[in-house]
Structures are given as C-alpha cells and as structure tokens.
Amino acid sequence: MEKIIIEKSPPLHGRVRVSGAKNAALPILAASLLGTEDIILEDVPNLKDVEIMCEVLKSLGSEVVYLDTNTIKINSKNLNNYETRYELMNKMRASFLVMGPLLTRLGKTKNSLPGGCAIGARPIDLHLKGFRALGAEVVQNEDNVFAYSDKLMGGMIYLDFPSVGATENIMMAATMAQGETIIDNAAMEPEIVDLSNFLNKLGADIRGAGTSTIKIRGVKHLGGAKHSIIPDRIEAGTLMVGAAISKGDVIVENVITSHMKPVSAKLRECGCTVEEGIDSIRVVGNDHLTAIDIKTMPYPGFPTDMQAQFMALMTVLEGTSTVIETVFENRFMHVEELKKMGADITVEERAATIIGKDKLFGAEVKATDLRAGAAMVLAGIIAEGKTIIDEIYHIDRGYDRIEEKFRKLGANIYRQEF
C-alpha cells in the first residue's frame, strides 16, 4: 500500500503547470460516446478516474487509444452495449454521466448506481427528472436505473438545484432529442462550458452554457472533433493555497484566471498578494495572514472542491475563520484529520469555526476523500515533523502526480510503498 510522506518544508517557490481538469475530462469522455467519427482529446489529466472512465467506454464498445500520456483517441462508431458494469460504476460518481449519451444514441441504458467520495448522499433524482422530461421511461430499483425511449423529444427542465452532473447528463441526452430542450437553473461551472464547446464541435447545437439557461436543439447525428481539456481550476487553487500556507512565492501556469476569481479573492482577503498574468497566477504569502470566512456555493460562488484546502490554510491564519458548506451535507471529514495535527476546529451542522494556531504538528492521517487528501498535503507541508497520509488512492483520483508538483516547488514530499 502506498502512502504520502511529508516533512516540514521551506516556503514553496517556483513555477508549476496545472493539468487538464478532471471535472471537464470526465463528462467529455462520456460525451465521446455520442460521436461516430474519430475524437482526439488533448491535455487529458493522467488520473485514476480518467482510467476508469476509459474502461467504461471500452466496455460499451468504443475504441480508446492513448496517443501519449495526455492525448486520447476515441472512436465510438461501433458502440453496441447499453449496460455498464457494476464494478466500474461503483468506483466513481462521474461514471453515471454515460447515461445521457447512451440513452440518446442507443435509445436505452441500464446502469448501476454510481459510487465515489462519501461527501453526501448525492442522489440522482435531478438527472432522472431531466430524462423523464425528454420523454424517457425511467425505472429505478435499489441497485440499477434503466431508462429507455424510442424517440426522445426536446423538453423544458427546471433544476431544483443547479447540479453540475444533472446539467451535463441532460445536455448530452438532449443533443439528439427531436426539437428544443431548455434547461433552467442550469449549473454554470466552466466545465459545463467546456463540455458544451466540445459537443458543438461534434455537431451539436447548444447555446447558453455558462448561464443559467441552456438551450439545446436536437440534431440527427454527431461526428468527430479535436479538443483540448480546460485547465483544472481546483488543482490550480490547491497549488495557490500551497503558496499561501507556506508563505511562499509561486507562479501557477496554465490557468484561466477568470475561473480562479473566488479563490484569488479569498487569498487576497487574508492578505496574500495575487497577481494575474495572461494564463498564470502568482501568489505570494507572508507572515501576517488573517482570518477569513467562506461559504461554498455553485459557480461563480466559492467552490466546495476548494473548501478542505482553505480549511487547512485557516488552521494557521491569525484569528477565527468560518466555513459554511452549502453544497454537500457531509463534507467535513477532513476536520478530524486536521485536528490530529493540532488544529482547533469545531463543527456545528454545516458550519465550521477554525481558531488559527501558530503551528501544526505532523501526524498519521487519512485522505478521507479527494480534497480532504489535498488538505492533508497542504497541512503536512507546514507541520512540524513528519506527516504520513494513508488512503491516498482518493488523492490519485483527482490529482495528476501531486507529490511531483509540490516537490518541484521545494516541498519535502514523497510516496512510499508500505
């Protein structure tokens, strides 16, 4: 079993390039089931979740070939299987995103319920509401969901919450439904825009992605395309917090600076210098960073996927910080782990209060989920002594060589087999 070991490190310093976004790559890989010609995806991050999604595509009849570490060629001309395998589906949440493409391309799809990080109940009711609005029959039991329709028809869907996954699944299903679909209260995340751009390159007719109303006019057929995945704003944010927490000076390259606004704003608010370049951001920390408050919200609000990393930072900010988590109901699992390192945090329902301490201390901790794992890495960089992080498969789901990137910036971090 592998663990990540971190020893107290000097202030992080230097330049680091961000990989393509996991949360754009996964839906775009799922959307590749829709095209009947060659699809080339560039800047695909090298992640466990991507590997699993490629296995899912292959199990459905797509040809998937790695042209190099970050470039994948997919051909789904011979897509022939509408049923996904439990052992692949239960490994990650995003596997469920094949449902929309299969429904519209093959007229039916059967999937076991998705797995993934235990950060909340994560129901799929909004995805299914969308499929039903397009005229599909949907039958759900304890283990599986079966959806079918001889002819999907455009429909009007209002999402009770701007769910990222539901917006993506419905958008994909609607690409080849007859007539116009309108998704209201749609998620506005940059990854939705990337998916929409990709689908339009395949020949879809989607307008409004990135706003709360998305209109999709169904087309008869989708072809092929070449597409580069957008940079990962959560990986970028994690590296930016690395600069802040270690009082370092880091230039994070390959970022879309507008996607980083909530993160940049909160780092400035606590006292960091944040300078935006054309496609890079420099973050400079200092000795006098002070408490901040964050409340997670759908985009363009503060991302829930950055909450744990900011909480690691708050443990050493001067004063009392607060976090309110509004997106997921169980996303404070990192709190107990940070407390093992000496952090002073109390949680009441969806609110955490963090009293800043002078220092943290190395400890044996767990990556209880993906971003909780990233928080442990950040805390470990500044903690006195040695931090050993267990269950790092969570981290590998979503970070492409996390230890190499932090090591490049001067962190004493390595991976060891136990």
**Using CB distances below 5 to 8 A depending on partner kind, what does residue 216 bind out of ligand UD1, ligand PEP, none?**
none
Residue type, 400: D
d(CA 364, CA 140): 41
Nearest to 379 by CA among 321, 318, 308, 320: 308
| Identified binder of ligand PEP from the candidate list 6, 16, 79, 94, rule CB under 6 A | 94
From 54, 117, 270, 272, the catalytic residue: 117
Query: Residue 231 annotated as binding?
Result: no
The SS3 of residue 276 is: strand
Residue type, 58: K
**Using CB distances below 5 to 8 A depending on partner kind, what does residue 327 bind out of ligand PEP, ligand UD1, none?**
ligand UD1
Decide if 223 contacts 196 (C-beta within 8 A): no
Query: Residue 114 annotated as binding?
Result: no
Decide if 199 contacts 29 (C-beta within 8 A): no
Residue 194 engages ligand UD1 in binding (rule: CB under 6 A): no
Residue 103 engages ligand UD1 in binding (rule: CB under 6 A): no
Restricting to residues 300-339, name those near ligand PEP by CB under 6 A: 305
Query: Residue 85 annotated as binding?
Result: no
Residue 309 engages ligand UD1 in binding (rule: CB under 6 A): no
How many CB atoms are closer than 10 A to CB 375? 29
**Using CB distances below 5 to 8 A depending on partner kind, what does residue 371 bind out of ligand PEP, ligand UD1, none?**
ligand PEP
d(CA 144, CA 167): 21
Any idea what the Cα angle at residue 315 is, between residues 357 and 417, rounded to 5°? Answer: 115
How many CB atoms are closer than 10 A to CB 70? 19
Residue 310 engages ligand UD1 in binding (rule: CB under 6 A): no
**Using CB distances below 5 to 8 A depending on partner kind, what does residue 123 bind out of ligand PEP, ligand UD1, none?**
ligand UD1
d(CA 22, CA 374): 15
**Using CB distances below 5 to 8 A depending on partner kind, what does residue 124 bind out of ligand PEP, ligand UD1, none?**
ligand UD1
Query: Residue 194 annotated as binding?
Result: no
Residue 161 engages ligand UD1 in binding (rule: CB under 6 A): yes
d(CA 359, CA 78): 57
Restricting to residues 359-378, name those near ligand PEP by CB under 6 A: 370-371
- Is 117 catalytic? The answer is yes
Residue 93 engages ligand PEP in binding (rule: CB under 6 A): yes
Residue 204 engages ligand PEP in binding (rule: CB under 6 A): no
- Residues composing the chain: 418
Using CB under 6 A, count the residues that bind ligand UD1.
Answer: 23
d(CA 100, CA 195): 13
Nearest to 97 by CA among 33, 36, 160: 33
**DSSP class per residue in 88-137:** HHTT-GGGGGGHHHHHHHHSEEEEEPP----SS----HHHHHHHHHTT-E
d(CA 254, CA 262): 17
Residue 26 engages ligand UD1 in binding (rule: CB under 6 A): yes
Supply the minimum distance, in Å, between the C-beta of residue 328 and ligand UD1: 5
* CB-based closest residue to ligand UD1: 165
Supply the minimum distance, in Å, between the C-beta of residue 253 and ligand UD1: 22
Structure tokens at 206: 């989607």
Supply the minimum distance, in Å, between the C-beta of residue 329 and ligand UD1: 7
Restricting to residues 11-50, name those near ligand PEP by CB under 6 A: 23
Binding site for ligand PEP (CB under 6 A): 23, 92-94, 116-117, 119, 305, 370-371, 398
Binding site for ligand UD1 (CB under 6 A): 23, 26, 93-94, 120-127, 161, 163-166, 187, 191, 304-305, 327-328
User: From the annotation, which residues make up the binding site?
Assistant: 22-23, 93, 122-126, 305, 327
Q: List, by residue number, the catalytic residues.
A: 117
